[in-house]
Structure 1
Amino acid sequence: MDEPTILLTNDDGIDSVGLRAVYDGLSEVGDVTAVAPAEDQSAVGRAISHEVDVRDHEMGYVVDGTPADCVVAGLEALVPETDLVVAGCNRGANLGAYVLGRSGTVSAAVEATFFDVPAIAVSMYIPVREDAAFSDIEADGDSYGEAVRATSYLADHALGAGVFEQCDYLNVNAPVAEWGPAPLEVTRPSRLYEMDAVRDGDAVTLHDRIWEHMADGDIPDPEGTDRRAVVDGRVSVSPLTAPHTTEHHEALDALAETYDAEERP
């Protein structure tokens, strides 16, 4: 196919190193326009606004809103001829089934699918513990090298190869480039979930123990999962669908049949 028109967004903000790195890489394979948040919007999920301010930027547009805002505004008003939406590169991994609804990066890709536009969410794994502030972690453009290489390759080839005839979006996670060349592996999201909560007086601390496992390189995730691939130094690519599926369920069907709409307590 001809050079694709790519809408690039993220949740780390327009000035993030990861967005610039991907912008430069994608510019080698397509016509790229950034439509990204003015400020960090990490972990906002698919939160959306009624109205957002938009300003010109050297890479495209900066939006005072969320990643989902950026995708809706971009596809409907700013870059309407988009062939592919790319979200990232996020500083920090977005791995496992349970993060798919939390991540602003992944949510931007999901938002695109409802416009029937294929999308790629891309994140870079940084081996740190949960209590380390990501804002304090240094990651220059070179660290994103493997993430950029994989994203550029997929943006260049996935549309023409028919990848998006079988999935709605790709969730890509890459190790830091300092680990060396990383092969690409098709994966599924890990279903491992280790959140806990501890109450101390009037406060409850929420704790994701997965980060500790990852920082130690000691994870229980099986082969074939996204987290296992990245911790072992591979680029994880999970082909995913966005809309929730519904199926008839015998037990629920039976309850519906016995429901009495007239009955009151």
Structure 2
Amino acid sequence: MSESLSILLTNDDGIDSVGFRALYDAFEEFADVTAVAPAEDQSAVGRKMSQDVDVTRHELGFAIHGTPADCTVVGLEALCPDVDLVVAGCNKGANLGAYVLGRSGTVSAAVEAAFFDVPAIAVSLYVPGGDDVPWEEKATDTEDFRNATNAATYLAKHGLGAGVFEQAEYLNVNAPMLADDGSLAPLEVTTPSTLYDMTASRDTENGRFTLHDGVWDRMRSGDLPDPEGTDRRAVVEGRVSVSPLTAPHSTEHHESLDALAQTYLDSV
């Protein structure tokens, strides 16, 4: 195992998840990997942060009794402060579209790394549903994650030297499941889709609201308005999506807001 590349590996599905093991095994072949991942499933917690966390030893490294963002902070501050790269994943379930970036624990672990000026890659696997087998019962073997692990290791090996992270602070990688014939998916550079289809419906009997993300229904039916070059279209059509992103929140110059600021004291 070469120590030329050192990696902090984390996720949000938990340190014992199959997707995490798939990435760990793939990276361990050529890098010095330190696992710093949640002890339990922490999916969809975003950048939630704890005030204090317990850390226990695990056969792969360290299990953090906290969130993915906790893992990044504890890892980079104390457990492995000199790593070259943070990799988060592999999440079982895609993290596609601009609206999920702040929700995803996987992506949030990568975003947290950006504030330490450490490049990061968030890695997720699209597991389609809508057939006879529930999506939760799919992707149960590390081999099912091979499109994701191949893309992630390729980007880790070559991205730093190629200057990718001089422009992007982190990469959001989403891969389709491995094809039945074992052929690997090509890689496409994308932008996050802006499609948003969240609804809230009220149950007249108990008054509760049910929140529903209609994007998944669209993905299953193929009813996708996403244009070419977006992350969701790439993955649904069988390509690995790689979106180069910066940590929130980007700042732009707004002349209209400048004008309001200048007249503020005159109007109050």
Which amino acid is the alignment partner of residue 79 of structure 2?
L
Give the equivalent residue in structure 2 for 1:229.
234
Instruction: Indicate which of 251, 256, 260 corresponds to 1:255.
Output: 260
Distance change >3 Å, CA 22–CA 70, structure 1 → 2:
same
Give the equivalent residue in structure 2 for 1:38.
39
- Once residues 33 and 79 of structure 1 are traced to their aligned partners in structure 2, the CA distance between those partners, rounded to angstroms, is 7
Q: Secondary structure at the match of 1:189?
A: coil
Give the equivalent residue in structure 2 for 1:209.
214
Give the equivalent residue in structure 1 for 2:91.
90
- Once residues 262 and 216 of structure 1 are traced to their aligned partners in structure 2, the CA distance between those partners, rounded to angstroms, is 53
Which amino acid is the alignment partner of residue 84 of structure 1?
L
- Once residues 140 and 224 of structure 2 are traced to their aligned partners in structure 1, the CA distance between those partners, rounded to angstroms, is 24
TM-score with structure 1 setting the length: 0.93
Q: Does 1:198 align with 2:198?
A: no
- Once residues 190 and 168 of structure 1 are traced to their aligned partners in structure 2, the CA distance between those partners, rounded to angstroms, is 19
Give the equivalent residue in structure 2 for 1:165.
166
- Once residues 183 and 246 of structure 1 are traced to their aligned partners in structure 2, the CA distance between those partners, rounded to angstroms, is 33
Distance change >3 Å, CA 69–CA 134, structure 1 → 2:
farther
1:218 Cα deviation from its structure 2 partner:
2.8
1:247 Cα deviation from its structure 2 partner:
2.7
Alignment of 1:51-130 (within 5 A): 51-128=52-129
- Once residues 63 and 134 of structure 2 are traced to their aligned partners in structure 1, the CA distance between those partners, rounded to angstroms, is 25
- Once residues 250 and 125 of structure 2 are traced to their aligned partners in structure 1, the CA distance between those partners, rounded to angstroms, is 29
Give the equivalent residue in structure 2 for 1:187.
190
Deviation readout 1:106-150 (Å, 9 max, x if unpaired): 000000000000000000001125xx9765545321110110111
My pick for the range that moved more, 249-258 or 199-208, is: 249-258
Q: Secondary structure at the match of 1:177?
A: coil
Structure 2: gaps spanning 5 or more residues: none
Whether the 8 Å CA contact 2:128–2:135 is kept in 1: the answer is no
For these two proteins, the number of residue pairs brought into alignment is: 261
1:12 Cα deviation from its structure 2 partner:
0.1
Query: Aligned Cα RMSD in Å?
Result: 1.8
- Once residues 121 and 79 of structure 2 are traced to their aligned partners in structure 1, the CA distance between those partners, rounded to angstroms, is 19
Q: Does 1:147 align with 2:148?
A: yes
Whether the 8 Å CA contact 1:29–1:152 is kept in 2: the answer is no
My pick for the range that moved more, 236-245 or 71-80, is: 236-245
Distance change >3 Å, CA 223–CA 262, structure 1 → 2:
closer
Deviation readout 1:179-221 (Å, 9 max, x if unpaired): 5320011111111111111122421111111101111233111
Q: Secondary structure at the match of 1:121?
A: strand
Percent identity between matched residues is 67
Deviation readout 1:125-179 (Å, 9 max, x if unpaired): 01125xx976554532111011011111111111111110111000000000135
Whether the 8 Å CA contact 1:29–1:155 is kept in 2: the answer is no
Which amino acid is the alignment partner of residue 29 of structure 1?
F
My pick for the range that moved more, 55-64 or 242-251, is: 242-251
- Once residues 239 and 72 of structure 2 are traced to their aligned partners in structure 1, the CA distance between those partners, rounded to angstroms, is 29
1:94 Cα deviation from its structure 2 partner:
0.2
Whether the 8 Å CA contact 1:44–1:102 is kept in 2: the answer is yes
- Once residues 151 and 3 of structure 2 are traced to their aligned partners in structure 1, the CA distance between those partners, rounded to angstroms, is 20
Deviation readout 1:49-88 (Å, 9 max, x if unpaired): 0110001111110000000000000000101111100000
My pick for the range that moved more, 199-208 or 233-242, is: 199-208
